Amino acid sequence: MKGNPKIIDALNKVLELEIGAILQYLHHHWTGDGMESAAILPLFEKTSMDEMKHAERVAERINFLEGDPSLKPAPAKKGGDLRKMMLDDLEGEYGAIEYYKTVIKLADEAGDSTTRLMMEEIVAQEEEHADLWETILQKTGKKLP
């Protein structure tokens, strides 16, 4: 099915954000250390797997729309202590949610209900990720910026 080029371009940006998030979460999983790392590192890994599932869904949708799924990751942040890593991840989730909502609107305006629904589901999961990092940062007594 030949898709709307604007939708395909928007989905490729989503895919790039997801690939960047996968790399960032995995790097944090591999390199995080500190007293709280035993509890936090598995969460980085699990979240990277969630992002992989998002990337797969988006790439399959792009392919279905006869587009070419991007292989380029968005920039990933690395380094720092666990707090910085979680703040970087929270910032990434906020940015993704904001952009994904514009994709939902674009899909709705284009009459592409399948893409709209997929992106709504992904946004809901990204909001869960943001809530996870917010909750951990608050419970550990670390103030959010």
Does the pLDDT value for residue 144 go beyond 60?
no
Domain residues for the domain of 89 are 5-69+79-139
pLDDT tens track for 4-59 = 999 999 999 999 999 999 999 999 999 999 878 899 999 999 999 999 999 999 99
As a whole number, mean pLDDT of residues 53-71 equals 98
Residue 74 maps to a domain: no
pLDDT band at 79 (very low <50, low <70, confident <90, very high): confident
Percent of the chain with pLDDT over 70: 97
Asked if 142 contacts 83 with a C-beta cutoff of 8 angstroms, the reply is yes
Tokens at 86, concatenated: 């979680």
Q: What is the pLDDT of residue 23?
A: 98
Residue 64 maps to a domain: yes
User: Would you mind telling me the total number of residues written for the chain in this entry?
Assistant: 145
Q: What is the pLDDT of residue 143?
A: 55
Burial per residue of 72-85, b for 16 or more beta-carbon CB atoms within 10 angstroms, e otherwise: ebbebbeeeebbeb
Residue 144 maps to a domain: no
Place of tokens 């890593």: 85
141 dihedral zone (left: phi>0; alpha: psi -120 to 50; beta): left
Asked if 61 contacts 118 with a C-beta cutoff of 8 angstroms, the reply is yes
Number of domains into which the chain is organized: 1
Residue 49 maps to a domain: yes
Supply the CATH number for residue 33's domain.
1.20.1260.10
Residue 126 maps to a domain: yes
94 dihedral zone (left: phi>0; alpha: psi -120 to 50; beta): alpha
